[in-house]
Structure 1
Amino acid sequence: MNINVGIIGGGGYAAGELIRLLASHPEANIDFVYSRSQGGRPIRSVHQDLIGKVEMDFAQSVNPEVDVIFLCMGHGNSRRFLEENNVPDDMKIVDISRDFRLSEDAGYKGGKRFVYGLPELNHGKIKTADLIANPGCYASAIELALLPLASRQHLQQDIHVQAITGSTGAGRKRSTTSHFSWRDGNISIYKALNHQHEGEIKESLQSLQAGFDKGIHIIPVRGNYTRGIFVTAYTKIDFKENQAVELYHDFYRDAPFTAVSSEPVHLKQVVNTNNCLLHVQKVGPHLLITSIIDNLLKGASGQAVQNMNLMFGLDENVGLDLKANYF
Structure 2
Amino acid sequence: MIKVGIIGGAGYTAGELLRLLLHHPAVEISFVQSNSQAGLALSNVHQDLVGETNLCFTSGFDFNVDVLFLCMGHGRSAEYLKKHPILSSVKIIDLSHDFRLKAHAYQSDRSFIYGLPELQRAAIQEAENIANPGCFATAIQLALLPLAANDLLQDELHVHAITGATGAGQAPSSTTHFSWRDNNLSVYKAFNHQHLGEIEESLNILQKNFSQEINFIPMRGNFSRGIFASAYINCSLSMEEAKDLYQEFYQQAAFTHLSEQPIHLKQVVNTNKALLHLEVHKGKLLVCCALDNLLKGASGQAIQNMNLMFGLPEKAGLQLKANLF
**TM-score for the superposition, normalised by structure 1:** 0.98
CA-CA distance at 1:278 after TM superposition: 0.1
| Residue equivalent to 1:97 | 96
**Aligned partner of residue 103 in structure 2, secondary structure:** helix
Question: After superposition, where does 1:166-181 map in structure 2 within 5 Å?
Answer: 166-181=164-179
Looking at structure 1, the residues matched to 84 and 169 of structure 2 have their Cα atoms a distance apart, in angstroms, of 25
1:47 pairs with 2:46? yes
Which segments of structure 1 move beyond 6 Å, counting only runs of 4 or more?
none
CA-CA distance at 1:108 after TM superposition: 4.8
| Residue equivalent to 2:304 | 306
Name whichever of 166-175 and 86-95 sits farther off: 86-95
Structure 1: runs of 5+ lacking an equivalent: none
| Residue equivalent to 1:135 | 133
Deviations 1:28-54 (CA, angstroms, capped at 9, x unpaired):
010000001111111100000000002
Q: Which residue type is aligned with residue 104 of structure 2?
A: D
CA RMSD of the aligned region, Å?
Answer: 0.7
CA-CA distance at 1:239 after TM superposition: 2.0
CA-CA distance at 1:86 after TM superposition: 2.2
**Aligned partner of residue 89 in structure 1, secondary structure:** coil
Q: Is the 8 A contact 2:81 2:108 kept in 1?
A: no
Q: Is the 8 A contact 2:5 2:67 kept in 1?
A: yes
Name whichever of 70-79 and 239-248 sits farther off: 239-248
Looking at structure 1, the residues matched to 219 and 23 of structure 2 have their Cα atoms a distance apart, in angstroms, of 33
How many residue pairs align between the two structures?
Answer: 325
**% same residue:** 55
Q: Which residue type is aligned with residue 150 of structure 1?
A: A
Question: After superposition, where does 1:57-206 map in structure 2 within 5 Å?
Answer: 57-110=56-109, 112-206=110-204
CA-CA distance at 1:240 after TM superposition: 1.1
| Residue equivalent to 1:287 | 285
Alpha carbons of 1:187 and 1:242: their partners in 2 closer, same or farther (altered >3 Å)?
same
Q: Which residue type is aligned with residue 310 of structure 2?
A: F
Deviations 1:115-170 (CA, angstroms, capped at 9, x unpaired):
00000000000000010000000000000000000001010001100000000000
Q: Is the 8 A contact 2:78 2:108 kept in 1?
A: no
| Residue equivalent to 2:259 | 261
Q: Is the 8 A contact 2:231 2:286 kept in 1?
A: yes
Structure 2: runs of 5+ lacking an equivalent: none
CA-CA distance at 1:109 after TM superposition: 4.5
| Residue equivalent to 2:28 | 29
Deviations 1:160-196 (CA, angstroms, capped at 9, x unpaired):
0000000000000001111111111000000011100
Looking at structure 2, the residues matched to 239 and 129 of structure 1 have their Cα atoms a distance apart, in angstroms, of 36
| Residue equivalent to 1:218 | 216
